[in-house]
Amino acid sequence: MLNVGRICVKTAGREAGKFCVIVDVLEDGFVLVTGPKVVTSVKRRKCNVDHLEPTPEVIKIDKNASDDAVMGAYKKNDVFGKMKVEQPTAKDIESAKESERKRLAMKKEEPKAKPAEKKPEAKVEKKEEKKEPHKEKKTEKKEAEKKKPEKKPAKKPASKKSAKAKGKKK
């Protein structure tokens, strides 16, 4: 029953009650499935066979067919009429593709930008604060201490000692 091209109905999860097409059969009772997302809100991902209810409808699709190929097969076999679903307009399809491109572009930019900005700012602030009030000898010692352990937790005890030394001298 569960072969490539079979239309099924999802019984569990957020997408329960919506239909989808089997695109590939995987091991251990899993199956690759798409709506596609523009027609029904079912994304292209794997699904457990226990959470699917097959229907007597079958479509001719290649293995691992893209969403565009699936839409073409839907139009040929009149799936929209049989499953009583509205056909998405060209505007809906284009807007869905644009939003996906933006989402992928945002993902690539965010993780690279954040860690690079934080580290140099933190280091510069600490060095400037310590050098100004102290004498030259102590700056040399602290620079040597900083160079040896370059990790962040090692720097924290050095800052505490410097703060105590400031209080004692004054």
Partner 1 sequence: MPRPAQRSRSFIKKRVNTPGGRAVIHYVKKKPSPARCGSCRKPLHGVPSDLPAGIKKLTKTGRRPDRPYGGNLCPPCTRDVVKRKNIERWENA
d(CA 88, CA 75): 11
Is 19 or 130 the residue whose CB approaches partner 1 more closely? 19
Query: Residue 58 interacts with partner 1 (CB under 8 A)?
Result: no
Min dist. Cβ of residue 85 to partner 1 (A): 13
The correct pick among 1, 2, 3, 11 for binding partner 1 (CB under 8 A) is 11
Min dist. Cβ of residue 164 to partner 1 (A): 33
Nearest to 8 by CA among 34, 30, 27, 28: 34
Query: Residue 9 interacts with partner 1 (CB under 8 A)?
Result: yes
Total residues in contact with partner 1, by rule CB under 8 A: 11
Min dist. Cβ of residue 103 to partner 1 (A): 20
Of the candidate spans 4-12, 28-36, 93-101, 122-130, the one that interacts with partner 1 by CB under 8 A turns out to be 4-12
Nearest to 4 by CA among 86, 59, 75: 59
| Pair 23, 33: CB distance under 8 Å | yes
Query: Residue 17 interacts with partner 1 (CB under 8 A)?
Result: yes
The alpha carbon dihedral of 59, 61, 66, 68 has a sign of negative
Burial class (CB in 10 A: 0-12, 13-18, 19+), 93: middle
Nearest to 96 by CA among 59, 32, 44, 46: 44
Query: Residue 76 interacts with partner 1 (CB under 8 A)?
Result: no
- Which positions lie near partner 1, rule CB under 8 A? 9-14, 16-17, 53, 55-56
